[in-house]
Amino acid sequence: MPVRRFLVIHFTSGASAQSSINFWKTPAAKGASAHIVIDRDGTVYQCRPFNVTAGHAGVSQWRGFKSLNACSIGIELANAGDNVALAARWSKFEPVTAKHKNGGKPQKWEVYSPEQLAACEEVAKALVARYKLDDVIGHEDIAPDRKNDPGPAFPMAALRVACGFKPEVKP
């Protein structure tokens, strides 16, 4: 089994968890996938065993590791991110306006539901404990020049603390 060192949090930039899972089964996905997808209602779908690499990180690096697919577990949350039109269609919450930590102007971001965040925390804590993971990070941390997920609407500091890490993300 590949050694899993990190837990990487993403948003799907899509509609529902099932729509993302269905997309990953097509050639258009170009190998993209994740281990876990969590829908807006908190339903958790395991898409791949944790001992199988998933194509969630792409070109990435963190703490001396490159191409983190082989050394991380990916959790995708059904969320439109900064796609306001998609968020308006799928979310029951008003978007939050925030500036991304990696720069840019303030913009609207889809809010994560309490059920989704609770499920994410439960799964993340279990994975960190089971695989003795070294860090919980966002896709925006390991590929800052090309990715903005999970974005400023995601409470990364709270998740990190719940999993036993310091609140700030540091390479």
Tokens representing residue 58 in the block: 């792409």
Catalytic-labelled residue, pool 76, 115, 121, 122: 76
Name the E strands within the chain: 6-11, 36-38, 44-46, 61-62, 65-66, 72-77, 96-98, 107-109, 135-138
Is residue 115 part of the annotated active site? The answer reads no
How far is it between the farthest Cα atoms of the chain?
A: 42
CA distance 111 to 121: 16
Alpha-helical regions (H) of the chain = 17-24, 84-90, 114-131, 139-142, 156-162
CA distance 120 to 24: 20
Active site residues: 76
